[in-house]
Amino acid sequence: MKNKVFKRYKSGLYALLFILGIAVCVLFVDMLTKILTDGISVRIWDGVFNFVSVHNTGGAWSILNEHTWILIVLTFLFLIAFFVFNYFFKQRTNLYLVGFALVVGGAGGNLIDRLFLGYVRDFISLDFLGNFPVFNIADMCLLAGVIVLCVFFLFSYPKLNKGKLKKQEKYVLSKQIKLYKKGDL
């Protein structure tokens, strides 16, 4: 019984609801923090960590500055491709779903700002890193999601495929043994 529920959970409607649940939470926290910090600067730990309101019309490190429409189109294309990949990718685990949801929530948070404001509201400044760009919760979740997906594809996914290949090899071997016993091989 537990295996059936877990299997259903990782595919179809359950996976979609899981992804949407995390993504909506990311969007909510991102939008709330942007609203609360927009237009203000707060010194938290001088020289280390501060909230500084910045309106960024480009991407990270102001890449494509003043070309917001290109970033909007690229984000839409990325999200469409990402969802198409997810639709056809069937070896989902909780790790994969969390990473996927964080990426979708992070990309969505910045996309909403670009669509409605024409810029992204950034506010987290890590002063101890020198000339490091100011960023927001959506950026953090996007990066965390990419890291989680990298961990999944580097470490978990090969193990899933290894087990699958062993099952396929056993199946082929059993077929060959049956053919040999029949005398057809």
Q: In whole angstroms, what separates CA 180 from the centre of its chain?
A: 49
Query: What pTM does this model have?
Result: 0.78
CA-to-CA distance for 104 and 94, rounded, in angstroms?
Answer: 15
Look at residue 104 in the predicted model and tell me its pLDDT.
Answer: 96
Three-class SS state of 167: helix
Look at residue 149 in the predicted model and tell me its pLDDT.
Answer: 94
DSSP 95-164: HHHHHHHHHHHHHHHHHHHHHHHSSEEEEEE-GGGSSPPPB-HHHHHHHHHHHHHHHIIIIIHHHHHHHH
Q: Is the pLDDT of residue 52 over 50?
A: yes
Look at residue 76 in the predicted model and tell me its pLDDT.
Answer: 94
Residues forming the active site: 122, 139
By residue count, the chain amounts to 185
Q: Where does the pLDDT of residue 181 fall: very low under 50, low under 70, confident under 90, or very high at 90 and above?
A: confident
Look at residue 171 in the predicted model and tell me its pLDDT.
Answer: 62
